[in-house]
Amino acid sequence: GAVVSQHPSWVICKSGTSVKIECRSLDFQATTMFWYRQFPKQSLMLMATSNEGSKATYEQGVEKDKFLINHASLTLSTLTVTSAHPEDSSFYICSALPLTSGDEQFFGPGTRLTVL
Amino acid sequence: AQKITQTQPGMFVQEKEAVTLDCTYDTSDPSYGLFWYKQPSSGEMIFLIYQGSYDQQNATEGRYSLNFQKARKSANLVISASQLGDSAMYFCAMREGLEGYQKVTFGTGTKLQVIP
């Protein structure tokens, strides 16, 4: 149980295009999902907290208009990187907090984004 | 100030031996949770063990145990009987507060390599 998927697992895009990453909780409902970014050989940095049916809460320094988050249902949150540039190339990981047990986040497998 | 400090960028351990990965934390909140995650080269974050600030006993999960020294603000991970599959990055993390929706901050990680 407690499986989180991400799609796509990797994506290569041209500079200036937008990329959407999906995060799904497959066997549980999650009112809260988290989006992290991890640069090579670095730690995970929280970008934003996504709550179903409301606006996401962004961490300081994260551009809201660049990283659009939508949490439209209890099992799906999406992160859209708008007008991507090479410096946005990174590993993006989501996690989901089960509705019924509020202690542990379950992580997705991550999405590797490369912007050319 | 760093909230989570992992001072060992890399560690080596002989197969079947035990290894301790260090983690110190900094918080003024009396309620907090401490986590350890394993990240293999594939990228997914695997939850290993959790310790709440009010837990009286050190957490254990199979070969993993958390050496929780509250006064010293340390939460070291002990892996007993190391296996080749334990080679990975290990991240210590802290949540200030005991609610699952609250922010988790990660340390910089320790790369563990198990030698045959």
Query: Number of helices (H) and strands (E), helices first, in chain A?
Result: 0, 11
Q: What are the residues facing A9 on neighbouring strands? A: none
Segment of A94-108, B45-59, B94-108 carrying the highest mean pLDDT: B45-59
A interface with B, Cβ–Cβ below 8 Å: 31-32, 34, 42-46, 49, 51, 91, 93, 95, 97, 101-110, 112
Which three-class secondary structure state does DSSP give residue B93? strand
User: What is the pLDDT, as a whole number, of residue A98?
Assistant: 87
Q: Cα separation of B114 and B86, whole Å?
A: 7
Does the structure show a pLDDT above 80 at B101? Answer: no
pLDDT digits (tens, 9 = 90+) for B39-72: 999 999 999 999 999 999 999 999 999 999 999 9
Amino acid at site B72:
R
Nearest neighbour of A107 by CB, restricted to B44, B50, B107: B44
pLDDT digits (tens, 9 = 90+) for A37-68: 999 888 999 999 998 888 899 999 999 999 99
Distance from CA of A108 to the nearest CA of B (A): 7
User: What is the pLDDT, as a whole number, of residue A102?
Assistant: 60
Average pLDDT over residues B9-13: 96
User: What is the pLDDT, as a whole number, of residue A45?
Assistant: 95
Q: Cα separation of A103 and A21, whole Å?
A: 25
Query: Number of helices (H) and strands (E), helices first, in chain B?
Result: 0, 12
Mean pLDDT for all residues in chain A: 92
**Structure tokens of A68?**
């659009």
User: What is the pLDDT, as a whole number, of residue A92?
Assistant: 97
Intra-chain end-to-end CA distance of chain B, in Å: 38
Q: What are the residues facing A98 on neighbouring strands? A: A30
Average pLDDT over residues B74-83: 98
Does the structure show a pLDDT above 90 at A2? Answer: no
Residue B86 DSSP symbol:
G
Up-side HSE of residue A45: CA atoms within 13 Å toward CB?
14
Q: Which residues contact B2 (CB under 8 A, 6 or more apart)?
A: B26, B107
